[in-house]
A and B are shown apart, each in its own frame.
Chain A
Amino acid sequence: MIERVRERPLLRREGGASTLRRESAAVRGPSTQRPGRSAHRAPRAGALSTLTQAIRDGGVITWRNLLGLRRVPEALIGMTVQPIILVLLFALVFAGSLGGAAYREFLIAGIFAQTVTFNVFLTTIAMANDLQKGIIDRFRSLPMSRVAVVLGRTMADLGVGVLTLVVTSVTGLVVGWRIRGSVLDALAGFALLLLFSFAMSWVGVLVGLTARTVEVAQSAGLVWVFPVAFVSSAFVSVQGFPGWLQPFGEWNPVSAVAHASRELFGNPTQLPGFPESHAWPAQHAVLYAVLSSLAVIAVFLPLATARYRRLASR
């Protein structure tokens, strides 16, 4: 076998005919130098802790994802138009039969809870999309944090969550909803909704990475998100459910999020004509909403991250 090792330029050419040559000369730098010494390169190994790198790279991926959402606003429009339609539909069409102004007050926190639950669609589809397009292969060949891709996805979708909450709030204000509690409580209410939105995104990452195609991701989302969002106190009273379904409605975190938001926004927590629920989640709505959000994150963050890592061993 003949090894024809090519001649290497000893010096970096200055202003040579082609920038490629200059570049490649740099690539071929003396092999005695240790990696990571370049002034342009942040030292990677050791110096940056895993967590710092995860946050930094996660931030870069978040930027990339937000840019993508801005360039292809269809998904974003869907996510923001949908709560507007729901608010108008329930407030103008259904409210008349369900209790009028009182129902409108009751309704908006429910729409908030349902909207942040539906955020999972966005995450699922975006994740499956990335996987299908092959960009994930590039990411996985880069010396970046192994959680950055999934973290960047959930962070970007949290940003979308903020936008949908703003849109829903404004629409709610238009149809007569008001925040009747303190400013601090209201801020806590929005913070709680975003926490739940973030938790749901981690579920979406796992579903999206498991589905592999956008079509499967879409239908996989529909199968479980609708029952979870609607078998709750988001739009109606759980007391109106058949007896066997009531425990599910009461312990559904979406109910707790809706109930807690009502408390924090100073809105009625029950519909006229129904007794207050004595179930533990309803009695401790804020606590239960926070705990169930944290529990979802505690379960799905590691699962989603592990799933992403496992893609490597296909």
Chain B
Amino acid sequence: MPYRGHSRVSSMGELAVRVEGLTKSFGSVRALDGVNLQIPTGSVLGLLGPNGAGKTTMVRVLTTLLRPDGGRAWVAGHDVARAPQAVRRSIGLSGQYAAVDGNLTGAENLYLVGRLYGLTRVASRARAHELIERFGLTEDAQRPSKTYSGGMQRRLDLAGALVASPAVVMLDEPTTGLDPRGRLDTWAMISELVADGATVLLTTQYLEEADQLADRIVVIDRGRAIASGTADELKSQIGGERLQVVLADAGRIGFARQVLADVGTGEPVVDEHLRRVSVPVMGGTKALVEALRRFDAGGVEVLDVAMQRPTLDDVFLTLTGHLAEVRGEKVAGAA
């Protein structure tokens, strides 16, 4: 179904989302404390942070569910505070908790959303059918959605965000609470959406997820954006991945050091006592395979090999000096 309701964003160049100095408080807690963001049209921004950092508050402001206390935000060229209805026409939202009607079947849920976006009966029905098929819910399309598994409900919720083929898709922690299989499924679906250049705002607690899906990442903590850049930039800021090998024979440490110096991006670190050599690397697995190939060719016996990936905690430790901590439950719920 061709959809050309794409909003013109000429007034702000090629930005699909622009956020300037956004603030929002709940009581004494500043959920958003002067956040600035820009999402170029057709790119994916990952908003990374722990529970209570302000991610959901940001999504709720950008989807017009919450009025900011201060600052301004534009989505698809429309001011969220002054033209909320125009913003709503340009967005699709999939929340942290599946917002589907359990009494309605999968198909009926999508039909309902289509009708409320202003699609005709015929178009809504066709769109629902199309999305049901695409999201692999065909067999369950006629069952009330409350009988669906958690993963299926989330898929249905995600489908709901795409009914009107919106210009900007906001996904609030799309994989939180899913099992590994559900997470991979959801990633695959988002990747497909993203591969064709949809503008997406994605919030997540997982660096790995942001790395997989986002063009750029903004790290948010206590309502403030504390870092931004590509995943690679962030990782290099915090030292990136490290390749580490443990050798069987201490006599070959010199050889191993040379190999790792070649495949790594920095100076290898040697621990003679543990026969351990490690080096920061870029493009993880390639370096790993290359190193192992050369160890093999050189007849070096490797006891243990590991890739150490930076986690959200590493990012936070480096950027803020404190670990990613969860703020009070109340805030986590609201924010």
Contacts and interface: CB of A to CB of B under 8 A. Distances in A.
Identify whether the interface residues of A are mostly helix, strand, loop, or mixed. Answer: loop
A33 interface: yes
Contacts of B4: 26, 29-30, 33, 37-38
Contacts of B101: 64, 68, 133, 135
Given A64-B112, A312-B67, A138 B95 contact: yes
A193 to B, nearest CB: 28
Contacts of B44: 6
B235 to A, nearest CB: 13
Nearest to B62: A141
B63 interface: yes
Contacts of A68: 101, 103-104
A279 interface: no
Interface residues of B, number: 71
B198 A313 contact: no
Interface stretch (B115-123, B249-257, B278-286, B317-325): B115-123
Given A28-B42, A31-B6, A137 B99 contact: yes
A40 interface: yes
Given A2-B230, A19-B134, A35-B90, A25 B117 contact: no
Interface stretch (A41-49, A101-109, A270-278): A41-49
A138 B165 contact: no
Contacts of A57: 115-116
A141 B196 contact: no
Contacts of B233: 1-2
A29 B165 CA distance: 10
B195 interface: yes
A135 B64 CA distance: 15
B51 to A, nearest CB: 18
A142 B228 CA distance: 30
A215 interface: no
A94 interface: no
A143 B89 contact: yes
Contact of B6 (A12, A20, A27, A64): A27
Interface residues of A, number: 58
A23 B195 contact: no
B209 interface: no
Contacts of B194: 6
Given A35-B5, A139-B116, A20 B193 contact: yes
A6 B43 contact: yes
Nearest to A25: B196
Interface in B119-133: 119-120, 123, 127, 130, 133
A18 interface: yes
A64 B40 CA distance: 37
Contacts of A144: 88, 116-118
A36 B95 contact: no
In the A-B complex, the 7 residue pairs with the smallest Cβ-Cβ separation, listed nearest first, are: A24-B196, A40-B123, A138-B99, A143-B88, A68-B103, A8-B197, A71-B103
Interface of A: 1-9, 12, 18-21, 23-38, 40-45, 57, 60, 64, 67-68, 71-72, 133-135, 137-144, 148, 312-314
Interface of B: 1-9, 40-44, 63-67, 85-86, 88-91, 93, 95, 97-104, 108, 112-113, 115-120, 123, 127, 130, 133-134, 144, 160, 162, 164-167, 189, 192-198, 215-216, 228-230, 233, 334
Given A35-B7, A42-B119, 9 more contacts: A31-B6, A38-B2, A41-B119, A45-B89, A68-B103, A133-B99, A134-B95, A143-B117, A313-B67
17 contacts: A1-B230, A2-B216, A6-B44, A8-B197, A23-B165, A26-B1, A26-B4, A30-B6, A31-B41, A35-B5, A36-B5, A42-B120, A44-B89, A60-B115, A143-B117, A144-B116, A312-B65
